[in-house]
Copies of this chain bind each other. A is one copy, B any other.
Amino acid sequence: MDTTQRTDQQRSADRRRRELLEAADRVVLRDGPQASMNAIAAEAGITKPILYRHFGDKGGLYAALAKRHTDALLDSLRAALDAPADRRERVEATLDTYLAAIEARPQVYRFLMHPAEGSQPGDQGFDVGKHSAPLLRRMGEELAQVIEERLDLGPGGQQLARVWGHGIVGMMHAAGDWWLGERPCSRAELVRSLADLLWGRLAAAGDRVGGPGF
């Protein structure tokens, strides 16, 4: 009855939506995570209510915007994870891919790492947990899956893989965040140091003379 018509409408709506997202992207890239809805609307050449019609609320826009970048980043990470090389090289390539991404577009990265800060006024029940950005969670889950698929971890391996997935992602994130702020070394050195950590150098290191050891 109206399939073609609705398809037309939906297509135009989708196009509009993508345009709005690109405008939002530009603003976020310029203003960081505190980009206001007004600013985004202005950048898109329209006014606020249209944004709200398309995305519901700021969280919706955030989610849509985040999904784009998160998907893109995850694709890059998957590529690094699937490269034909030995395990250590793949780990280093994955770390380097992530760090290169946050280095290239720190504003976007900063935006992604913030959850929906101001919850709704009526939000009485606070969700305990779930403080992390969705990006971190998704990366953790994906990495966990890769680990579990490819490594033989014995009994309880699935759970171990999930812990490791989230743990490694958190390590990568925190180290990258700190590195981005202080730039204490080159990216390659950072990658090497983190891989060394994952490779057990912490456990293998000798005690310092006179000290009790760590």
Contacts and interface: CB of A to CB of B under 8 A. Distances in A.
A201 B181 CA distance: 31
Nearest to A183: B129
Nearest to A157: B205
7 residue pairs, one from A and one from B, having the closest CB atoms: A200-B200, A170-B174, A129-B181, A171-B171, A163-B193, A32-B126, A150-B214
Contacts of A181: 127-130
Interface stretch (A6-14, A17-25, A69-77, A106-114): A106-114
* Total copies of this chain within the assembly: 2
A205 B177 CA distance: 29
A175 to B, nearest CB: 4
Interface size class of A (residues with CB under 8 A): 35 or more
A177 to B, nearest CB: 5
Given A147-B214, A200-B200, A213-B87, A132 B207 contact: no
Interface string A192-203: 011011111111
Given A129-B180, A162-B184, A198-B203, 17 more contacts: A87-B203, A88-B203, A110-B126, A130-B181, A132-B177, A149-B208, A150-B211, A150-B212, A152-B208, A152-B209, A153-B205, A159-B193, A163-B185, A163-B193, A166-B179, A167-B194, A168-B202
Contacts of A205: 151-153
Interface string A129-155: 111100011001000001101111100
